Amino acid sequence: MKTLARILVSLLITLPLVAQAADDAGTINRRMAERLPAIDALKERLVIGETNSGMVEARSTVTAEEEQLVAAENSDRAAVYALIARAQSTSAEAVGKARARQIAERSKPGLWLQAQDGKWYQKK
């Protein structure tokens, strides 16, 4: 009976945390979806590129507004990678690197990508 009580208390404590994480993920995904056209436009203009850690980085001079956009995107990506890492019992760094490989495979030719060795190249 004590074990059942402990399980119930545990569930009561963790369920709000799980619900909070789900709400956060939904909010993050919505922000990222809203931001995607602007991020894609910066990539097309060759102003930003995709790093080997799954983030975006300026490749040329950016405006303050573009800098804020990049920072917001990277902040949300880091949060998503952390949520995925927690669910998969791995590190956010590993998730980011895996995501970087997916992004590189799916990117259009001509866009800036960062190789695993840190060197930048334009996809052919």
- Which pTM was predicted? 0.81
What's the pLDDT band for 34 if we cut at 50, 70, 90?
A: very high
Sheet holding 120-122, edge to edge: 56-58, 48-50, 112-114, 120-122
Sign of CA dihedral 80, 84, 90, 96: negative
Q: What is the pLDDT of residues 48-107, one digit of tens each?
A: 999 999 999 999 999 999 999 999 999 999 999 999 999 999 999 999 999 999 999 999
Map out the domains of the chain as residue ranges: 2-122
The backbone torsions φ and ψ at residue 31, rounded to the nearest 5 degrees and listed phi first, read -60, -45
